[in-house]
Each structure stands twice: as structure tokens, then as C-alpha cells.
């Protein structure tokens, strides 16, 4: 199996990867590994402060009541993409060597969890603001700065605080896998499709399509110039052509004149893999981790088998 990032990607948190010399079963195993097995960090425990606070300067009273139940806030916290650095060697909470022999309540150390705090008050009583929005950026990371919430994610809203309300908690992020909870899934919309090559079979009839004044995603006109010696193999361009062909396909009234002037031929054993990351890790890292996960799983099967037949 050979993998390479398709030219022009990643775009933001989206990535397309060309996988060659493989079959649909292998690529699908990879797809499932990306969704369920690649470990990432997510907030998995929150301890809320309940009660009444007095503002020291003004003597104003703030209460830990809130428009949203604690469970909903905890869920929203879990969904914030926490920067994940596989090379830092964070341990799973149940595999952490430091915490292995500790009682359940004592578990948790710098090598298996990251700590965030939040302490926000609503607007004071003389403020014109009716409420204040609490955002992911209000979280203070008290562990390694590596785990600071990225700028891109800081604007994620968590809740509103009205006058006289406060929100205070400690949140713990731990490593987990998507198969245990969606908060630990680092990628979504994980799909793959066969690679096609476009072939210009009838240049004259293809004018039915070329005359429609369509253009590719990167702004080139869809015309005969996309083809070199009647073939187009550039993956991004072929994906655009595939979409454009719907304009001359069955039901458009143009299919008769077009007469399959351009056909798509499948490239044996090659697939385009696409997914969106949640922003906690680059797409290429997630892809490589998925390969590692698969590799170690098959190694385990090998060992189990040889033990069983020994």
C-alpha cells in the first residue's frame, strides 16, 4: 500500500489522501480505524463549584445557577477539540504506570491527564450587558502550554451567564478512542472512493459539456485543455469533471447529444480517501496513527495465533 496527500490538500481541516496498490477491504479497515481507534484527548471529567460567591470589591452576590444543566455544559466541554500531541506520549488513564496501583479516586497525574480551570462571572448589576457568553477560550490550561485551546476553537460558545450568575469548574482531559465515545473521535466524514481517469473519446460531442461554461474548483475552465493526449489523470481535476458530467448525464436532456463523449475509467487498486479532522491533530498524523493501530492489531492476532497453535 502506498499513500500520498493529493495535490492541493489539506485545505483547513479537510484532507484527501491517495492510496495505491490496495483493495476496498483494506481501505475500509483504515476508515474504521480512523473513526474508532485513533487516540485523542478530550475533556472527560468536570467538577463544578456550587454555591454563592461574593465579589470582594463590590460586595455583589453571584450564584452558581445557570441557564444550562451541568451535564449539558460537561457535554459541550467534551466536544471542544483538545490539541493532541501523540509524540508527547500521554498515557491512557487505565494504562498509566504512575496511577496503575492507585485507588480510583486518586488516579490522574500529569502523564495521563490535562487540567483546565474556568472561573467566569456574569455582568455586574450596573452593567448594560444583559448577559455574557462563556467560550472555550475562557478555559485556563494549568498543564503544559502545548494543550492550550487553539485560537481557531476559542470562539466555541459554552453557555450564557446573566447578571448575578457565575460558572466555575475544573475539567480533566484524558486520552481515549472514538469507539468508547464520540468525544474521542478525531475525524468525521471519513469516506473513500475509487480513483478514475477521464478519457476524452469524442472531442466534438464533448463540446456539449465544454459549452456550458463550467469551471474547476480552482477556477480553470472545463474544456479540452484539461486533457493531455485525450486523458486527464489529475485527481482533483477528475473529481471536478465527475461533478460536471452530471450536467450532461441522464435526465438533463443533453445526454443524447453528449453520447458519452467523456468516460471515467476506474484505476485498479487506487482510492481517494477523504476526511475532516476536528482540529485536534493534522489529518496526516491521524492517517499515520490509524495505520499504526491496524499494524499493532494484526501483530497481536499473529501472536495470539502462534500461541494458540504452539
Positive/negative CA dihedral, 298, 299, 305, 308: negative
Minimum Å distance from CB 90 to Zn ion?
Answer: 9
Using rule CB under 5 A, residue 98 touches Zn ion? yes
Q: Which of 111/127 has CB closer to Zn ion?
A: 111
Using the rule CB under 5 A, which residue among 96, 136, 226, 248 binds Zn ion? Answer: 96
**Cis (ω within 30 of 0) for the bond into 10?**
yes
Q: Which of 113/159 has CB closer to Zn ion?
A: 113
Piece of the chain touching Zn ion by CB under 5 A; list 55-63, 102-110, 125-133, 193-201: 102-110
Rounded-to-integer distance, Cα 38 and Cα 296, Å: 12
Rounded-to-integer distance, Cα 114 and Cα 173, Å: 5
Cβ atoms of 221 and 251 within 8 Å: the answer is: no
**How many chain residues interact with Zn ion (CB under 5 A)?**
5
Q: Which of 81/93 has CB closer to Zn ion?
A: 93
Q: Which of 55/95 has CB closer to Zn ion?
A: 95
For residue 266, how many C-alpha atoms fall within 13 Å in the half-sphere facing its CB?
A: 8
Using rule CB under 5 A, residue 173 touches Zn ion? no
Q: Which of 109/264 has CB closer to Zn ion?
A: 109
Rounded-to-integer distance, Cα 213 and Cα 236, Å: 18
Piece of the chain touching Zn ion by CB under 5 A; list 6-14, 105-113, 216-224, 251-259: 105-113
Rounded-to-integer distance, Cα 140 and Cα 145, Å: 10
Q: Which of 98/140 has CB closer to Zn ion?
A: 98
Q: In the window 23-82, what residues touch Zn ion (CB under 5 A)?
A: none
Give me the numbers of helices (H) and strands (E) for the chain, helices first please: 6, 13
The SS3 call for residue 247 is: helix
Piece of the chain touching Zn ion by CB under 5 A; list 31-39, 58-66, 98-106, 203-211: 98-106
Q: In the window 110-149, what residues touch Zn ion (CB under 5 A)?
A: 112
Cβ atoms of 34 and 290 within 8 Å: the answer is: yes
In the complex, the residues that contact Zn ion under the rule CB under 5 A are 96, 98-99, 109, 112
Amino acid at each position: 500500500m502506498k499513500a500520498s496527500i493529493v495535490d492541493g490538500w489539506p485545505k483547513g481541516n479537510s484532507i484527501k489522501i491517495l492510496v495505491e496498490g490496495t483493495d476496498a477491504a483494506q481501505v475500509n479497515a483504515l476508515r474504521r480505524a480512523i473513526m474508532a481507534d485513533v487516540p485523542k484527548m478530550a475533556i472527560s471529567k468536570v467538577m463544578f463549584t456550587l454555591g454563592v460567591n461574593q465579589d470582594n470589591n463590590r460586595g455583589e452576590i453571584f450564584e452558581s445557577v445557570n441557564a444550562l444543566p451541568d451535564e449539558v455544559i460537561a457535554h459541550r466541554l467534551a466536544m471542544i477539540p483538545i490539541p493532541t500531541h501523540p509524540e508527547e506520549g500521554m498515557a491512557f488513564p487505565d494504562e498509566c504506570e504512575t496511577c496503575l496501583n492507585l485507588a480510583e479516586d486518586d488516579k490522574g497525574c500529569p502523564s495521563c491527564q490535562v487540567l483546565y480551570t474556568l472561573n467566569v462571572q456574569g455582568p455586574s448589576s450596573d452593567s448594560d450587558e444583559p448577559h455574557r457568553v462563556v467560550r472555550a477560550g475562557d478555559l485556563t490550561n494549568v498543564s503544559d502550554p502545548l494543550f492550550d485551546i487553539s485560537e481557531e476553537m476559542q470562539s466555541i460558545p459554552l453557555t450564557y451567564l446573566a447578571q448575578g450568575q457565575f460558572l466555575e469548574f475544573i475539567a480533566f482531559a484524558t486520552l481515549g478512542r472514538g469507539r468508547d465515545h464520540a468525544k474521542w473521535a478525531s475525524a468525521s466524514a471519513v469516506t473513500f472512493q475509487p480513483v478514475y481517469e477521464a478519457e476524452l473519446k469524442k472531442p466534438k460531442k464533448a463540446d456539449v459539456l465544454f459549452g456550458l461554461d463550467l469551471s474547476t474548483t480552482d477556477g480553470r475552465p472545463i474544456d479540452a485543455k484539461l486533457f493531455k493526449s485525450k486523458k486527464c489523470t489529475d485527481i482533483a481535476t477528475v473529481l471536478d469533471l465527475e461533478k460536471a458530467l452530471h450536467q450532461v448525464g441522464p435526465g438533463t436532456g443533453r445526454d443524447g447529444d453528449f453520447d458519452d463523449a467523456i468516460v471515467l475509467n476506474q484505476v485498479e487498486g487506487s482510492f481517494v480517501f477523504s476526511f475532516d479532522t476536528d482540529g485536534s491533530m493534522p489529518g496526516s498524523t491521524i492517517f499515520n496513527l490509524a495505520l499504526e493501530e491496524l499494524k499493532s492489531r494484526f501483530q497481536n492476532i499473529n501472536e495470539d495465533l502462534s500461541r494458540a497453535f504452539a
